Amino acid sequence: MPARRQTMPHPLMKGIYSQGFVVLTDRFVEIDELRALFPEFPFVRTIPAGERWEMGGATAVIDYRPEANGRVLIDTVPHPWPDHMGNTKDEAMLFGAWSMGHFGPFAYPHGLKRAVQQAWSWPEAKEMVPQHRGFIRLRSSYCLGAGPEARVGTRLRGTAGAETGPPQRKRRPEGRR
């Protein structure tokens, strides 16, 4: 009998974020300035900036797929993008933020440097990118504010119209090939 093929589970997100997107800015952008950019997506709430910019600046929360507890956080950070990861001794908060996915669930150190090196259609990137003074960060999550019974993730089995994620193979009855 041939060995059963194992299917790999859908890749899990790093930390609590499932996706991330960053826009570099030449100045600090106030959170209220962003409200006009997202008229179709009302801010559910805003959160003032914490003491440490690494985990998040002033933040707006937008509902995204509320039936799955989806949220998008948009924060503005008055600090240049940290392309290095920091270390546990000298920059513990930066290191922790990177390792928990606060700079993107699939972002890695020196990604901005690599992007500038690969910006063939934007030759000015080498001069422009180092001039940025802050960034706007969008992060999506299905874990924020959920109660203990809430489903976490994008797969909602048994919810009409909410079947998402990669297609699942149907299992064959035992004894059939």
What are the pLDDT tens digits along the chain (177 aa)? 555 554 444 455 567 888 999 999 999 999 999 998 888 999 999 999 989 999 889 999 999 888 888 899 999 999 999 999 888 999 999 999 988 889 988 888 899 999 999 999 999 999 999 999 999 999 998 888 666 666 555 554 444 444 444 444 445 556 555
CA gap 85, 26 in Å, rounded: 22
Q: What does pTM read for this prediction?
A: 0.75
Q: Dig out the tokens for 5 from the structure.
A: 């093929």
Handedness of CA 128, 130, 131, 132 (dihedral sign): positive
Q: Which two tokens stand for residue 137?
A: 């960060």
Per the listing, tokens 């030759």 go with: 123
Longest dimension (CA), the chain: 65
Distance between CA 163 and CA 159 in Å, rounded?
A: 7
Q: At which residue do the structure tokens 């290191």 appear?
A: 95
Rounded to whole angstroms, the Cα distance separating 100 from 16 reads: 8
Model confidence pLDDT, tens digit, residues 115-162: 999 999 999 999 999 999 999 999 998 888 666 666 555 554 444 444
Tell me the C-alpha distance between 112 and 130, whole Å: 10
